[in-house]
Amino acid sequence: MRLIFLVCQLGLILRTKAQMPDACILSDTNRPPRNTDITVVCGTQFMDLSIYICPMYNALYNESMMVLNNQFNTPECFGKADWNMTPPVLKFRFPLNESAVSSCNNNFKITTQVGSGAFADFSNVQYVNISGIVNSVDPSAGMITYRQQIKYMFSCFYPMQYLLNNTQLAVSGTSLAIRDNNGSFITTLSMQLYEDSAYTKILTIPQTGLNLKTKIYVSVKATNLTERFNVLLDRCYASTNPYPMATTFYDLFVGCQRDPQTKLDVNGMSQKASFSFEAFRFVEHKNQTVSTFYLHCVTRLCEVASCRALMPTCSAKRRRKREVADVIGNGTVTSPAIVVGKLSSDEAQTFSASLGMPSDANYSSPVVAVIVCIVILTILLVVMGVYFVLFIKRRKALLQ
């Protein structure tokens, strides 16, 4: 009887100290803390942490005793309990900007590594790593404690280079949860085609296709992204199928190499990059009414302070053309088609996508004019020669 009384008394003491809530008494998470108690969502604007509350109470703590990086004097570094969840969780959320990250003493580290894999041919690639600890604050006032300290470590790793195709993603403000504490900013990027240099009129492609040499203005921009990063285009190219790993492709620009009809307007200077090129046809489509191709851009997000250093040094000729097998990138979306119409039979002219030159079977007007002049001149010389020979013979006959 006495043993039962002592057990009940001990239970009352523990309940008094930890104030075990009713939602945790029968919960499966009413147990000692585990590494799996924390969930990390690496979003495009925020990092979100969710931690089971009941293990905190089981360890004689509560939600008010858990704080980011031991910053217990900073109110915004404490989480908010969500008792409507099953099981209940403690939530932390902070924006992906330097001031918000540093206010709770999280680590915000940008590293630059040599490009590898799909990006081996480009300049160094940047990565962002944000990490920290949610730890318990022991309220014991004495020199010793019987509470076990709780630490939940978290991190998010963001690559800063992506493969973007010409399609609107329409994900304004959407966060993306990635496993293994990795994140992606691909959802903040979008590409749009325009028909004017002011980038205000969206390009509409008719069923008959665009006319050859029509100016196409391309804009790649980031929305709902921390102002710490700018958009930098490493390479944009066209392929005859919607998949980046293409056997037939034509580089509009890659590093310092650029198609003569391609003009870079803005790159690496803001959260918007833009360029223009002229509509062309692929030679393999010469017997088709329209030539259909797709536009792909290898896009990187660079830290504002280091964007200039990541741009290619054209005088040094440090970049080379990418091999076909290296085309695939980190993030890929399916692209709508760009359709270019065929000229009428009396002015037909096929342009080569690989060389950007007319085919050998067709001649331009100046060439034809030169050939005609040469033929006429040859005929005149022959006629004059025959006339001169006949004139000499006739004169000799008169003299005799």
Q: CATH number of the domain that 66 lies in?
A: 2.60.40.3210
3-state secondary structure of 324: helix
Q: Which long-range contacts (CB under 8 A, 24 or more apart) does 106-114 make?
A: 106/68, 106/69, 106/130, 106/131, 106/132, 107/131, 107/132, 110/303, 110/306, 112/306
pLDDT at 63: 92
Q: pLDDT higher for 80 or 130?
A: 80
Percent of the chain with pLDDT over 90: 22
What does the alpha-carbon distance between residue 275 and residue 219 come to, in Å, rounded to a whole number? 7
pLDDT of 398 higher than 60: yes
Position 326 scores a pLDDT of 31
- Examine the pLDDT at 272 and tell me if it is beyond 50: yes
- Enter the tokens of residue 327: 């085309």
In this predicted structure, the answer to whether residue 235 has a pLDDT above a threshold of 80 is yes
Residue 21, preceding peptide bond in cis (omega within 30° of 0): no
Side chain identity at residue 315, one-letter code = S
3-class state of residue 388 by DSSP: helix
Please indicate, yes or no, whether residues 199 and 299 belong to a single structural domain of this protein.
yes
Q: How far apart are CA 302 and CA 42, in angstroms?
A: 18
Query: How far apart are alpha carbons 312 and 171 in whole angstroms?
Result: 31
Q: What's the pLDDT score for residue 339? A: 78
Do 126 and 242 sit in the same domain of this protein?
Answer: no
Q: Given this model, what pLDDT does residue 367 score?
A: 59
Structural domain contains residue 375: no
Q: Is residue 314 part of a domain?
A: yes
Specify the range with the lowest mean pLDDT, choosing from 114-128, 262-276, 345-359, 375-389: 345-359
pTM of the model: 0.56
Same-domain check for residues 115 and 212 = no
For the cut 90, the answer to whether the pLDDT of residue 385 exceeds it is: no
Give the CATH number of the domain where residue 319 resides.
Answer: 2.60.40.4100
Identify which of 59, 212, 226, 257 has the alpha carbon closest to the alpha carbon of residue 156.
226
| Distance (Å, whole) CA 236 – CA 166 | 10
* Residue 124, in any domain of the structure: yes
Residue 94 belongs to domain spanning: 27-159
Determine the distance from the C-alpha atom of residue 292 to the mean position of all C-alpha atoms in its chain, rounded to a whole number.
24
Q: Would you place residue 118 in the very low, low, confident or very high pLDDT band (cuts 50, 70, 90)?
A: low
More confident residue, 65 or 349: 65
Q: Based on the domain organization, do 122 and 181 belong to the same domain?
A: no
**What's the pLDDT at 332?**
31
Inside any domain, residue 21: no
Average pLDDT over residues 188-203: 88
